[in-house]
Chains A and B, each alone.
Chain A
Protein backbone atom coordinates (compact mmCIF):
# COMPACT_ATOMS: atom_id res chain seq x y z
CA UNK A 1 0.00 0.00 0.00
CA UNK A 2 0.89 3.67 -0.24
CA UNK A 3 2.75 4.87 2.82
CA UNK A 4 2.77 8.42 4.08
CA UNK A 5 3.79 10.42 7.13
CA UNK A 6 2.18 13.50 8.58
CA UNK A 7 3.81 16.78 7.67
CA UNK A 8 5.42 18.75 10.51
CA UNK A 9 2.79 20.83 12.29
CA UNK A 10 4.62 24.10 11.65
CA UNK A 11 4.57 23.43 7.91
CA UNK A 12 0.83 22.78 8.00
CA UNK A 13 0.23 25.92 10.07
CA UNK A 14 2.17 27.92 7.46
CA UNK A 15 -0.06 26.60 4.68
CA UNK A 16 -3.46 27.25 6.24
CA UNK A 17 -2.92 30.24 8.52
CA UNK A 18 -4.65 32.74 6.24
CA UNK A 19 -7.95 30.84 6.01
CA UNK A 20 -10.66 31.35 8.64
CA UNK A 21 -12.63 28.17 7.79
CA UNK A 22 -10.72 24.99 7.12
CA UNK A 23 -11.90 21.46 6.46
CA UNK A 24 -9.43 18.73 7.40
CA UNK A 25 -10.27 15.78 5.16
CA UNK A 26 -8.84 12.34 5.77
CA UNK A 27 -8.92 9.25 3.59
CA UNK A 28 -10.02 5.84 4.82
CA UNK A 29 -7.69 4.05 2.36
CA UNK A 30 -3.94 3.49 2.54
CA UNK A 31 -3.16 6.47 4.76
CA UNK A 32 -5.54 5.13 7.39
CA UNK A 33 -3.70 1.82 7.45
CA UNK A 34 -0.33 3.51 7.99
CA UNK A 35 -1.95 5.87 10.52
CA UNK A 36 -0.95 9.04 8.72
CA UNK A 37 -4.18 10.40 7.28
CA UNK A 38 -7.25 8.57 8.55
CA UNK A 39 -10.03 10.00 10.70
CA UNK A 40 -7.98 9.58 13.84
CA UNK A 41 -5.08 11.60 12.45
CA UNK A 42 -7.59 14.15 11.15
CA UNK A 43 -8.92 14.61 14.67
CA UNK A 44 -5.46 14.98 16.17
CA UNK A 45 -4.28 17.45 13.53
CA UNK A 46 -7.50 19.47 13.72
CA UNK A 47 -7.26 19.62 17.53
CA UNK A 48 -3.63 20.72 17.34
CA UNK A 49 -4.49 23.43 14.80
CA UNK A 50 -7.41 24.67 16.90
CA UNK A 51 -5.17 24.81 19.97
CA UNK A 52 -2.55 26.71 18.04
CA UNK A 53 -4.82 29.31 16.48
CA UNK A 54 -6.88 29.75 19.66
CA UNK A 55 -3.70 30.24 21.64
CA UNK A 56 -2.61 32.80 19.04
CA UNK A 57 -5.84 34.70 19.65
CA UNK A 58 -7.14 34.06 16.15
CA UNK A 59 -9.47 31.08 16.45
CA UNK A 60 -10.63 29.44 13.26
CA UNK A 61 -13.36 27.09 12.28
CA UNK A 62 -11.52 23.82 11.75
CA UNK A 63 -13.79 20.87 10.99
CA UNK A 64 -13.09 17.19 10.55
CA UNK A 65 -14.15 14.60 8.03
CA UNK A 66 -12.81 11.53 6.31
CA UNK A 67 -13.80 10.05 2.95
CA UNK A 68 -13.88 6.39 2.02
CA UNK A 69 -11.27 7.20 -0.64
CA UNK A 70 -10.01 10.40 -2.16
CA UNK A 71 -8.87 8.69 -5.36
CA UNK A 72 -12.44 8.00 -6.53
CA UNK A 73 -14.82 10.71 -7.69
CA UNK A 74 -17.87 9.15 -6.07
CA UNK A 75 -16.47 9.70 -2.61
CA UNK A 76 -15.06 13.13 -3.35
CA UNK A 77 -18.51 14.15 -4.58
CA UNK A 78 -19.79 13.64 -1.04
CA UNK A 79 -18.09 16.91 -0.08
CA UNK A 80 -20.09 18.76 -2.74
CA UNK A 81 -22.82 20.15 -0.52
CA UNK A 82 -20.56 21.40 2.28
CA UNK A 83 -17.29 22.42 0.66
CA UNK A 84 -18.54 25.94 -0.04
CA UNK A 85 -18.62 26.48 3.69
CA UNK A 86 -14.82 26.38 3.84
CA UNK A 87 -12.05 28.62 2.60
CA UNK A 88 -9.55 25.80 2.23
CA UNK A 89 -9.30 22.03 2.48
CA UNK A 90 -6.39 20.32 4.19
CA UNK A 91 -6.30 16.82 2.71
CA UNK A 92 -4.56 14.03 4.58
CA UNK A 93 -4.83 11.69 1.59
CA UNK A 94 -1.80 10.67 -0.45
CA UNK A 95 -0.67 12.93 -3.27
CA UNK A 96 -3.20 11.25 -5.57
CA UNK A 97 -6.11 12.13 -3.32
CA UNK A 98 -4.99 15.71 -2.79
CA UNK A 99 -4.80 16.24 -6.54
CA UNK A 100 -8.05 14.52 -7.36
CA UNK A 101 -9.82 16.61 -4.75
CA UNK A 102 -8.34 19.76 -6.28
CA UNK A 103 -9.36 18.49 -9.73
CA UNK A 104 -12.98 18.27 -8.67
CA UNK A 105 -13.22 21.51 -6.73
CA UNK A 106 -11.30 23.76 -9.07
CA UNK A 107 -11.68 27.02 -7.17
CA UNK A 108 -11.03 25.64 -3.69
CA UNK A 109 -7.49 25.83 -2.29
CA UNK A 110 -6.42 22.29 -1.34
CA UNK A 111 -3.30 21.66 0.77
CA UNK A 112 -1.44 18.43 1.54
CA UNK A 113 -1.26 17.41 5.18
CA UNK A 114 0.97 14.38 4.66
CA UNK A 115 4.15 13.57 2.78
CA UNK A 116 3.47 10.62 0.49
CA UNK A 117 6.51 8.44 0.86
CA UNK A 118 6.51 5.06 -0.85
CA UNK A 119 4.77 1.81 -1.71
CA UNK A 120 5.54 -0.52 1.10
CA UNK A 121 4.65 -3.00 3.76
CA UNK A 122 4.08 -3.02 7.51
CA UNK A 123 7.09 -4.66 9.15
CA UNK A 124 5.37 -4.15 12.48
CA UNK A 125 2.98 -1.52 13.70
CA UNK A 126 4.65 1.84 13.12
CA UNK A 127 7.46 0.43 10.98
CA UNK A 128 7.01 0.49 7.23
CA UNK A 129 9.49 -0.35 4.50
CA UNK A 130 9.56 0.20 0.78
CA UNK A 131 8.97 -2.73 -1.56
CA UNK A 132 7.89 -1.40 -4.95
CA UNK A 133 8.62 1.58 -7.16
CA UNK A 134 5.80 0.88 -9.63
CA UNK A 135 8.20 0.69 -12.57
CA UNK A 136 5.42 -0.77 -14.69
CA UNK A 137 7.12 -3.98 -15.73
CA UNK A 138 7.65 -6.43 -12.92
CA UNK A 139 10.94 -8.34 -12.90
CA UNK A 140 10.45 -10.22 -9.64
CA UNK A 141 10.39 -13.51 -11.53
CA UNK A 142 14.09 -13.00 -12.38
CA UNK A 143 15.25 -11.86 -8.98
CA UNK A 144 13.88 -14.42 -6.59
CA UNK A 145 10.94 -12.28 -5.58
CA UNK A 146 13.09 -9.43 -4.23
CA UNK A 147 12.96 -6.19 -6.23
CA UNK A 148 16.36 -4.62 -6.94
CA UNK A 149 14.76 -1.44 -8.24
CA UNK A 150 13.06 -0.74 -4.94
CA UNK A 151 15.56 -2.38 -2.60
CA UNK A 152 18.96 -1.57 -4.07
CA UNK A 153 19.99 2.06 -3.49
CA UNK A 154 21.42 2.13 -7.00
CA UNK A 155 18.55 0.12 -8.52
CA UNK A 156 21.18 -2.18 -10.03
CA UNK A 157 19.86 -5.03 -12.13
CA UNK A 158 23.16 -6.91 -11.74
CA UNK A 159 24.27 -6.35 -8.17
CA UNK A 160 25.51 -6.28 -5.52
CA UNK A 161 27.99 -3.45 -5.90
CA UNK A 162 31.36 -3.39 -4.16
CA UNK A 163 29.96 -1.27 -1.36
CA UNK A 164 27.73 -4.04 -0.03
CA UNK A 165 29.20 -4.80 3.37
CA UNK A 166 28.20 -7.59 5.75
CA UNK A 167 24.80 -7.77 4.14
CA UNK A 168 24.17 -4.05 4.47
CA UNK A 169 24.00 -1.23 1.95
CA UNK A 170 26.83 1.27 1.66
CA UNK A 171 24.31 4.08 2.02
CA UNK A 172 23.35 3.07 5.54
CA UNK A 173 24.58 0.21 7.73
CA UNK A 174 20.99 -0.30 8.94
CA UNK A 175 19.71 -0.89 5.41
CA UNK A 176 19.79 -4.48 4.08
CA UNK A 177 21.59 -4.88 0.76
CA UNK A 178 18.83 -5.76 -1.71
CA UNK A 179 21.19 -7.87 -3.78
CA UNK A 180 22.34 -9.84 -0.78
CA UNK A 181 18.67 -10.63 -0.17
CA UNK A 182 18.27 -11.67 -3.80
CA UNK A 183 21.36 -13.87 -3.60
CA UNK A 184 20.20 -15.60 -0.45
CA UNK A 185 16.71 -16.09 -1.80
CA UNK A 186 17.96 -17.55 -5.10
CA UNK A 187 20.24 -19.82 -3.13
CA UNK A 188 17.36 -21.02 -0.95
CA UNK A 189 15.30 -21.64 -4.08
CA UNK A 190 18.14 -23.55 -5.74
CA UNK A 191 18.17 -20.95 -8.54
CA UNK A 192 21.69 -19.51 -8.18
CA UNK A 193 22.23 -20.06 -11.91
CA UNK A 194 19.97 -17.05 -12.44
CA UNK A 195 22.42 -14.90 -10.51
CA UNK A 196 25.10 -15.26 -13.17
CA UNK A 197 22.84 -14.39 -16.09
CA UNK A 198 23.30 -10.71 -16.92
CA UNK A 199 20.02 -8.82 -16.95
CA UNK A 200 19.88 -6.46 -19.95
CA UNK A 201 19.22 -2.72 -19.65
CA UNK A 202 15.68 -2.09 -18.52
CA UNK A 203 13.04 -0.47 -20.68
CA UNK A 204 12.09 2.44 -18.44
CA UNK A 205 9.25 3.67 -20.65
CA UNK A 206 6.76 1.98 -18.36
CA UNK A 207 8.27 3.82 -15.39
CA UNK A 208 8.02 7.57 -14.80
CA UNK A 209 10.53 8.03 -17.60
CA UNK A 210 7.85 7.31 -20.18
CA UNK A 211 5.80 10.31 -19.12
CA UNK A 212 2.58 10.35 -17.14
CA UNK A 213 1.17 6.86 -17.06
CA UNK A 214 -2.35 5.76 -17.81
CA UNK A 215 -4.18 2.46 -17.76
CA UNK A 216 -7.23 1.97 -19.96
CA UNK A 217 -9.21 -1.22 -19.40
CA UNK A 218 -11.85 -1.43 -22.07
CA UNK A 219 -13.32 -4.52 -20.45
CA UNK A 220 -14.11 -2.50 -17.35
CA UNK A 221 -15.36 0.72 -18.87
CA UNK A 222 -19.06 1.45 -18.73
Chain B
Protein backbone atom coordinates (compact mmCIF):
# COMPACT_ATOMS: atom_id res chain seq x y z
CA UNK B 1 0.00 0.00 0.00
CA UNK B 2 1.69 3.22 -1.10
CA UNK B 3 -0.50 6.02 0.16
CA UNK B 4 0.00 9.68 -0.57
CA UNK B 5 0.01 12.20 2.26
CA UNK B 6 1.45 15.71 2.50
CA UNK B 7 5.22 15.79 2.55
CA UNK B 8 5.57 18.61 5.07
CA UNK B 9 4.53 16.40 7.97
CA UNK B 10 7.31 15.22 10.23
CA UNK B 11 6.58 12.01 12.08
CA UNK B 12 7.93 11.50 15.57
CA UNK B 13 7.54 7.93 16.71
CA UNK B 14 6.78 7.06 20.32
CA UNK B 15 6.11 3.60 21.74
CA UNK B 16 2.64 4.70 22.84
CA UNK B 17 0.79 8.04 22.89
CA UNK B 18 0.83 7.59 26.67
CA UNK B 19 4.49 8.62 26.37
CA UNK B 20 3.53 12.00 24.91
CA UNK B 21 3.80 14.64 27.58
CA UNK B 22 2.47 18.16 27.80
CA UNK B 23 5.98 19.54 27.57
CA UNK B 24 6.65 17.62 24.32
CA UNK B 25 3.68 19.22 22.64
CA UNK B 26 4.50 22.68 23.94
CA UNK B 27 8.11 22.30 22.82
CA UNK B 28 6.97 21.42 19.32
CA UNK B 29 5.07 24.71 19.15
CA UNK B 30 7.99 26.62 20.67
CA UNK B 31 10.24 25.15 17.99
CA UNK B 32 7.91 26.55 15.40
CA UNK B 33 5.56 23.72 14.46
CA UNK B 34 2.47 25.07 12.69
CA UNK B 35 0.35 22.26 14.00
CA UNK B 36 0.60 18.92 15.76
CA UNK B 37 -1.55 15.88 15.68
CA UNK B 38 -1.26 12.95 18.01
CA UNK B 39 -2.23 9.62 16.45
CA UNK B 40 -3.12 7.09 19.11
CA UNK B 41 -4.59 3.64 18.95
CA UNK B 42 -8.33 3.18 19.00
CA UNK B 43 -9.84 3.77 22.41
CA UNK B 44 -10.04 0.47 24.25
CA UNK B 45 -7.25 -0.97 22.09
CA UNK B 46 -4.20 0.45 23.85
CA UNK B 47 -1.44 -2.14 24.20
CA UNK B 48 -0.57 -0.43 27.47
CA UNK B 49 -4.24 -0.37 28.51
CA UNK B 50 -4.84 3.38 28.92
CA UNK B 51 -1.96 5.21 27.24
CA UNK B 52 -4.15 6.78 24.57
CA UNK B 53 -6.68 7.91 27.18
CA UNK B 54 -3.94 9.66 29.12
CA UNK B 55 -2.79 11.27 25.89
CA UNK B 56 -6.30 12.51 25.19
CA UNK B 57 -6.41 14.35 28.52
CA UNK B 58 -2.96 15.84 28.00
CA UNK B 59 -3.87 17.03 24.52
CA UNK B 60 -6.92 18.69 26.05
CA UNK B 61 -4.76 20.43 28.65
CA UNK B 62 -2.33 21.68 26.00
CA UNK B 63 -5.25 22.97 23.94
CA UNK B 64 -6.29 25.05 26.92
CA UNK B 65 -2.77 26.44 27.25
CA UNK B 66 -2.52 27.15 23.51
CA UNK B 67 -5.80 29.00 23.68
CA UNK B 68 -4.58 31.15 26.56
CA UNK B 69 -1.24 31.99 24.95
CA UNK B 70 -2.99 33.11 21.79
CA UNK B 71 -2.24 30.22 19.40
CA UNK B 72 -5.80 28.94 19.48
CA UNK B 73 -7.04 25.39 19.92
CA UNK B 74 -7.13 24.41 16.24
CA UNK B 75 -3.44 23.70 15.77
CA UNK B 76 -3.50 20.59 17.94
CA UNK B 77 -5.65 17.50 17.60
CA UNK B 78 -5.74 13.93 18.77
CA UNK B 79 -6.93 11.13 16.49
CA UNK B 80 -7.48 7.47 17.21
CA UNK B 81 -6.78 4.80 14.60
CA UNK B 82 -5.20 1.38 14.47
CA UNK B 83 -1.89 0.40 12.87
CA UNK B 84 -3.84 -1.32 10.12
CA UNK B 85 -5.72 1.81 9.09
CA UNK B 86 -3.22 3.27 6.60
CA UNK B 87 -5.79 5.00 4.41
CA UNK B 88 -7.32 6.64 7.46
CA UNK B 89 -3.87 7.91 8.50
CA UNK B 90 -3.37 9.50 5.10
CA UNK B 91 -6.84 11.01 5.27
CA UNK B 92 -6.16 12.52 8.72
CA UNK B 93 -2.82 13.85 7.50
CA UNK B 94 -4.51 15.57 4.56
CA UNK B 95 -7.30 16.86 6.79
CA UNK B 96 -4.88 18.29 9.35
CA UNK B 97 -2.65 19.71 6.62
CA UNK B 98 -5.63 21.47 5.10
CA UNK B 99 -6.73 22.81 8.48
CA UNK B 100 -3.27 24.21 9.28
CA UNK B 101 -2.96 25.78 5.82
CA UNK B 102 -6.20 27.60 6.50
CA UNK B 103 -4.90 28.79 9.89
CA UNK B 104 -1.62 29.87 8.28
CA UNK B 105 1.92 29.65 9.62
CA UNK B 106 2.44 29.58 13.39
CA UNK B 107 2.69 33.10 14.80
CA UNK B 108 5.58 31.80 16.90
CA UNK B 109 7.59 30.95 13.81
CA UNK B 110 6.74 34.32 12.31
CA UNK B 111 7.67 36.18 15.50
CA UNK B 112 10.93 34.32 15.84
CA UNK B 113 11.86 34.90 12.22
CA UNK B 114 11.61 38.65 12.70
CA UNK B 115 13.97 38.64 15.68
CA UNK B 116 17.74 38.86 15.66
CA UNK B 117 19.14 35.35 15.89
CA UNK B 118 20.92 35.90 19.19
CA UNK B 119 17.70 36.63 21.01
CA UNK B 120 15.99 33.49 19.88
CA UNK B 121 18.84 31.40 21.21
CA UNK B 122 19.12 33.10 24.54
CA UNK B 123 17.08 30.46 26.25
CA UNK B 124 19.13 28.12 28.45
Contacts and interface: CB of A to CB of B under 8 A. Distances in A.
A and B directly contacting (CB within 8 A)? yes
Contacts of A134: none
12 contacts: A9-B68, A9-B69, A44-B23, A47-B27, A48-B65, A48-B68, A51-B108, A55-B107, A59-B115, A59-B120, A62-B123, A63-B124
Contact-residue size bin, chain A (C-beta under 8 Å from the other chain): 20 to 34
B71 A51 contact: yes
Please report whether the interface of chain B is mostly helix, strand, loop or mixed according to DSSP.
Answer: helix
A27 to B, nearest CB: 18
Interface residues of B, number: 23
A47 B71 CA distance: 13
Contact of B111 (A40, A59, A62): A59
A56 B65 CA distance: 15
B28 to A, nearest CB: 10
Contacts of B107: 55
A43 B115 CA distance: 23
A40 B23 contact: yes
A51 B29 contact: yes
B122 A44 contact: no
B95 interface: no
Contact of B69 (A40, A51, A64): A51
A153 interface: no
A201 interface: no
Given A10-B68, A55-B69, A61-B122, A44 B26 contact: yes
Q: Does more than half of chain A's interface fall in helix, strand or loop, or is it mixed?
A: helix
Contacts of A43: 23
A57 interface: yes
B45 interface: no
B119 interface: yes
A50 B115 CA distance: 14
Contacts of B120: 59
Contact of B26 (A51, A57, A61): A51
A57 B23 contact: no
B24 to A, nearest CB: 10
A48 B111 CA distance: 15
B70 interface: yes
Interface in B46-76: 65-66, 68-71
